[in-house]
């Protein structure tokens, strides 16, 4: 892997370590991040989004499984884990702590500028998260 993959690994490690300073340094000041249900613009919004996750999941971890690099662009997928021990703030309202464990797949496409992430399109299944938290019904088993 090359330089772009190293930049992404640093960003993911900073998010998992809940290191605001390292996370801030990982993004360009005018960065853009698309997540299901939200568009974030600027490093302050990106960091605030991660901080909200840390509040809800104090043991939040992003575990990259594969990174595919093409110059300054890359794609990745991996897993996100954490235990819901604080309020999860969502566009549909706050979800109080359930004590449940999350483990879901995440993927994304990023653009790297120099040593920083300039943009990220993050993909994950919001319904799967709500099911794991017990606030949406899980699918019935196949008959």
**18 phi/psi in degrees, rounded to 5:** 55, 45
Q: pLDDT grade, residue 1 (50/70/90)?
A: low
pTM: 0.90
Q: Which of 129, 109, 118 is nearest to 37 (CA)?
A: 129
In terms of Cα–Cα distance, which of 44, 36, 52 is closest to 94? 52
Tokens for 134? 């017990």
Domains of the chain: 3-133 (3.10.450.50)
Confidence of residue 39 (pLDDT cuts 50, 70, 90): very high
pLDDT tens string 49-82: 999 999 999 999 999 999 999 999 999 999 999 9
Average the pLDDT over 9-26 and give the result.
Answer: 96
Name the token pair of 18: 């809940």
With 0-12 CB in 10 A as exposed, 13-18 as middle and 19+ as buried, what is 18? Answer: middle
- Cα–Cα dist 97/6, whole Å: 34
């Amino acid at each position: 892997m090359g330089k772009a993959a190293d930049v992404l690994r640093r960003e993911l490690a900073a998010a998992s370590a809940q290191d605001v300073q390292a996370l801030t340094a990982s993004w360009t000041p005018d960065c853009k991040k698309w997540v299901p249900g939200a568009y974030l613009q600027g490093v302050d919004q990106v960091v605030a989004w991660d901080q909200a996750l840390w509040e809800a999941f104090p043991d939040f971890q992003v575990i990259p499984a594969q990174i595919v690099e093409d110059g300054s662009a890359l794609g990745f997928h991996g897993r996100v884990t954490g235990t819901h021990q604080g309020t999860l703030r969502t566009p549909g309202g706050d979800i109080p702590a359930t004590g449940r464990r999350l483990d879901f797949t995440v993927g994304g496409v990023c653009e790297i500028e120099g040593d920083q992430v300039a943009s990220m399109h993050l993909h994950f299944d919001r319904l799967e998260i709500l099911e794991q938290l017990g606030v949406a019904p899980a699918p019935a088993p196949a008959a």
